[in-house]
């Protein structure tokens, strides 16, 4: 990646001064006969002068011969190239000249090294300091330089080297962007008919879904340069600098058109202007934004500069940015679904050496809710694990372990947990798994472990979606809550205690129950009334109530009663299957990690009738791991 900046003047001064100093050093430290009046002659002349006895003395150096004339009027020093002449010594003797062989003046290696390598560096450093001090003085204070220097770099890539093939899934986004690629490839086609291409398109989606990647792929597909700048880099700058950068960026882009200008994290500069919190602080951002708007309006749309921007909080953008002629296209970039995850894994698995039997589908199923970036990370972690193990192919097991590493953190080596705690954790996890398996329409268990992770999870139950759907029925939602309460229920039944380990479960269960009441219209009491709106679906999805305080109280009661009911159901299931609960928990305690099939074998050994589960499962939430945290 090139850092495209105008070279600063002082840099040239450094070079010049260094050059001069090195030359001077050379002249002082290595004086030679050359500095006297010299004449270069050819070897033939040397021989003929030698034969005519016109030479007084001769000095044979490593690759030249220096001699003086016997003519006392001639004070010149002659130089000739040294030939491979075995007769030379004979001839010199015959001519009766004084001669010597000079071993080239050798400094000790250390001195040589110091002179050739260290001294230029020292000089460089000294000069650099001098100049920066001078500059800083001129700019007012030593801090000034450091500030302006580090921020808002414009990056240019002549060729991004990425194409749509590198972007797995995201078919809709790709289709929307194909039009832009086509425009960049044949601008005339559009000009002829009088069509103006949109100047800008906004890529909207959660972090890690491939927005930057898509922008690069557009540039790659159209084989045009890619200018990129990140909004967050403007934040700490001096007033006026951001605006100047924007001006600069667009000037460069127009010179290089057709090209792509990519503004990452545009929300950091493009926030609604009125929403500012009063006095000061926002001046810089506002100026930058205004400059951006001016530039976007200013340049000719037919030129072939297409501006792409990315954000994960579109709702906070200033309306002015979204007006026609600016970012009027909005391209959603969504989290990958099952098929999308599988193809992303495949794209990245191509770049590493894997065993032939790896199955990306299994990994994709275990990573519901993972973004493209996380999946790329999983593949990379697997490759690292293989290297650590001195293998040259990545196995399915590496990938499976990597899923846990990326999702749950690294295995915590040496974490000490008392036996009693371990037992509680085992029962807690089996509680989840058992409740999940016994209920119909619940995820079949994929893996249960009580090996603690650095993320703070002391153990977890991993569920695998059989198929994927965005719809969740009321029954499924309720079953899910029941599964979440299963951990706590097991603790209560067996140990008659409640631990803090269930805090995450409670949070998850509450979230679903709340959504059932306020957004999904799944409670009899309220029916289909939206009592909440989600503020930002891309970032955590905080919701705010849109109902009166009295209704809010009733909502809380309803949520409570749903969870209570689920908790009772979970307890009932566990009491009815208490033998299995003991058996499975003991087994888990011993093995620490058990797979879904082991779990099912033990569960099915006697009461097959009770297990009608694991056929269908249509839940896609982002929480396929039920963990307990400290
Ligand atoms: P964003 O800009 O949306 O935060 P990035 O484009 O920076 O996400 O994605 C980060 C990395 O994740 C990419 O470099 C790529 O390796 C991987 N990635 C994300 N989405 C995809 C995808 N759809 N196909 C292939 N790789 C992806
Ligand atoms: Mg990005
Ligand atoms: Zn739990």
Cα gap 32→139, rounded to integer Å: 47
Q: Which residue has the higher pLDDT, 217 or 589?
A: 217
- Bridge partners for 457 per DSSP: 629
Residue 370, helix vs strand vs coil: coil
What pLDDT, in 10s, does the model give residues 81-125?
877 777 777 877 877 777 776 655 556 777 777 777 777 788 888
Q: What is the mean pLDDT of residues 172-199?
A: 85
Taking each helix axis from N to C terminus, what angle separates 419-438 and 596-604, rounded to the nearest 10 degrees?
70
Please name which of 535, 523, 517, 510 lies closest in space to residue 623, comparing C-alpha atoms: 510
What pLDDT, in 10s, does the model give residues 15-46?
777 778 777 776 666 555 444 577 888 888 88
Instruction: Provide the pLDDT for residue 628.
Output: 39
Ligand in nearest proximity to the CA of 372: 1
Using the CB atoms, write b or e for 531-554: b if 16+ within 10 Å. Answer: bbeeeeebeeeebeeeeeeeeeee
Ligand 1 center–CA 166 separation, angstroms: 9
Instruction: Spell out the CATH class of 32-101.
Output: alpha beta
Q: Is the pLDDT of residue 152 over 70?
A: no
Listed range (177-181, 449-453, 552-556) with the worst mean pLDDT: 449-453
Instruction: Provide the pLDDT for residue 574.
Output: 95
Ligand in nearest proximity to the CA of 207: 1
Instruction: Provide the pLDDT for residue 575.
Output: 95
Q: What is the mean pLDDT of residues 378-382?
A: 93
Ligand 1 neighbour 168 (Cβ under 6 A):
yes
Instruction: Provide the pLDDT for residue 157.
Output: 73
Ligand in nearest proximity to the CA of 350: 1
Ligand 1 neighbour 347 (Cβ under 6 A):
yes
Q: What is the mean pLDDT of the chain?
A: 77
Ligand 1 neighbour 170 (Cβ under 6 A):
yes
What pLDDT, in 10s, does the model give residues 522-549?
877 776 666 676 665 555 556 666 677 7
Ligand 1 neighbour 373 (Cβ under 6 A):
yes
What pLDDT, in 10s, does the model give residues 427-465?
999 999 999 888 865 556 777 887 766 556 666 776 665
Instruction: Provide the pLDDT for residue 145.
Output: 36
What pLDDT, in 10s, does the model give residues 500-515?
877 888 888 998 898 8
Q: Considering only CA atoms, which residue is closest to atom 14 of ligand 1?
A: 213
Ligand 1 neighbour 263 (Cβ under 6 A):
no
Ligand 2 center–CA 257 separation, angstroms: 23
Give the residue carrying structure tokens 């000739």. Answer: 80
Ligand 1 neighbour 160 (Cβ under 6 A):
no
What pLDDT, in 10s, does the model give residues 557-575?
899 999 999 999 999 999 9
Backbone phi, psi, residue 204, to 5°? -120, 125
The CATH number of 153-332 is which of 2.40.50.140, 3.40.50.1820, 3.40.50.620, 3.40.50.300? Answer: 3.40.50.300
User: Which active-site residues does the annotation give?
Assistant: 429
CA distances from 474 to 148, 471, 477, 524, 537 (A): 57, 10, 5, 11, 21
CA distances from 380 to 160, 384, 524, 531 (A): 21, 6, 48, 43
Domain boundaries, the chain: 32-101, 153-332, 338-407, 419-628
How would DSSP label each residue in 477-488? HHHHHHHHHHHH
What pLDDT, in 10s, does the model give residues 286-301?
778 888 888 888 877 6
This model's pTM is above 0.85: no
Cα gap 564→133, rounded to integer Å: 70
The ligand 1 atom at the shortest distance from the C-alpha of residue 373 is 12
Cα gap 197→190, rounded to integer Å: 8
Give the residue carrying structure tokens 């016994």. Answer: 438
Ligand 1 center–CA 46 separation, angstroms: 73
The ligand 1 atom at the shortest distance from the C-alpha of residue 166 is 25
Ligand 1 neighbour 332 (Cβ under 6 A):
no
Q: What is the CATH number of domain 338-407?
A: 1.10.8.60
Q: Considering only CA atoms, which residue is closest to atom 4 of ligand 1?
A: 208
Handedness of CA 387, 393, 398, 399 (dihedral sign): positive
The ligand 1 atom at the shortest distance from the C-alpha of residue 333 is 3
Backbone phi, psi, residue 89, to 5°? -60, -45
Q: Is the pLDDT of residue 607 over 60?
A: no
Cα gap 514→390, rounded to integer Å: 49
Q: What is the CATH number of domain 419-628?
A: 1.20.58.760
């Amino acid at each position: 990646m090139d850092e495209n900046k105008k070279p600063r003047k002082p840099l040239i001064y450094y070079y010049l001064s260094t050059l001069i100093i090195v030359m001077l050093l050379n002249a002082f430290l290595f004086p030679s006969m050359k500095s006297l009046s010299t004449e270069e002659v050819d070897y033939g002349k040397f021989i003929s002068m030698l034969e005519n006895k016109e030479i007084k003395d001769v000095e044979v150096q490593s690759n030249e011969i220096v001699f003086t004339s016997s003519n006392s009027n001639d004070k010149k020093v002659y130089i000739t190239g040294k030939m491979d002449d075995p007769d030379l010594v004979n001839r010199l003797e015959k001519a009766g000249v004084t001669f010597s062989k000079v071993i080239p003046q050798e400094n000790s290696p250390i001195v040589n090294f110091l002179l050739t390598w260290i001294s230029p560096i020292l000089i460089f450093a000294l000069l650099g300091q001098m100049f920066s001090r001078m500059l800083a003085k001129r700019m007012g204070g030593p801090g000034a330089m450091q500030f302006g220097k580090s921020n808002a770099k414009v990056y240019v890539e002549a060729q991004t080297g990425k194409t749509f093939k590198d972007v797995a899934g995201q078919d809709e986004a790709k289709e929307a962007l194909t039009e832009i690629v086509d425009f960049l490839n044949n601008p005339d086609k559009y000009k002829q008919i009088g069509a103006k291409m949109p100047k800008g398109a906004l890529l909207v989606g959660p972090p890690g879904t491939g927005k930057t990647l898509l922008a690069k792929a557009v540039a790659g597909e159209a084989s045009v340069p890619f200018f990129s700048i990140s909004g967050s880099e403007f934040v700490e700058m001096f007033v006026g600098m951001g605006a100047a950068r924007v001006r600069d960026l667009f000037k460069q882009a127009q010179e290089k058109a057709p090209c792509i200008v990519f503004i990452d994290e545009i929300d950091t500069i493009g926030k609604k202007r009125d929403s500012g919190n009063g006095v000061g602080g926002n001046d810089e951002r506002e100026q930058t934004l205004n400059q951006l708007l001016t530039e976007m309006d200013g340049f000719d749309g037919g030129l072939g500069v297409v501006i792409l921007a990315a954000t994960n909080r579109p709702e906070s953008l200033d309306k002015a940015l979204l007006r026609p002629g600016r970012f009027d296209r909005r391209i959603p970039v969504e989290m990958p679904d099952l098929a999308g995850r599988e193809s992303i894994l495949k794209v990245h698995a191509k770049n590493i050496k894997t065993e032939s039997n790896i199955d990306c589908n299994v990994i994709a199923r275990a990573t519901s809710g993972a973004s493209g970036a996380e999946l790329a990370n999983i593949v990379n972690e697997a490759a690292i694990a293989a290297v650590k193990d001195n293998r040259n192919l990545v196995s399915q097991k590496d990938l499976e372990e990597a899923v846990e590493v990326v999702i749950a953190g690294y295995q915590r080596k040496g974490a000490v947990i008392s036996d009693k705690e371990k037992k509680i954790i085992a029962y807690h996890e089996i509680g989840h798994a058992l409740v999940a398996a016994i209920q119909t329409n619940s995820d079949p268990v994929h893996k249960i472990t009580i090996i603690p992770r650095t993320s703070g999870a002391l153990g977890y139950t991993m569920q695998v979606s059989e198929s994927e759907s965005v719809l969740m029925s009321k029954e499924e939602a309720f079953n899910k809550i029941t599964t979440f309460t299963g951990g706590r229920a097991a603790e209560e039944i067996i140990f008659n205690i409640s631990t803090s380990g269930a805090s995450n479960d409670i949070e998850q269960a509450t979230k679903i129950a709340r959504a059932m009441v306020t957004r999904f219209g799944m409670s009899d009491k309220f029916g289909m009334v939206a009592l909440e709106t989600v503020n930002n679906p891309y970032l955590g999805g905080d919701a705010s109530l849109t109902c009166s305080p009295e209704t809010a109280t009733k909502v809380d009661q309803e949520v409570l009663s749903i969870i209570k009911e689920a908790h009772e159901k979970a307890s009932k299931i566990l009491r009815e299957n208490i033998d299995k609960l003991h058996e499975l928990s003991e087994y888990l305690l011993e093995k620490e990690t058990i797979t879904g099939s082991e779990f099912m074998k033990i569960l099915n050994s006697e009461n097959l009738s009770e297990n009608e589960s694991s056929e269908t499962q249509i839940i896609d939430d982002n929480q396929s791991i039920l963990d307990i945290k400290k």
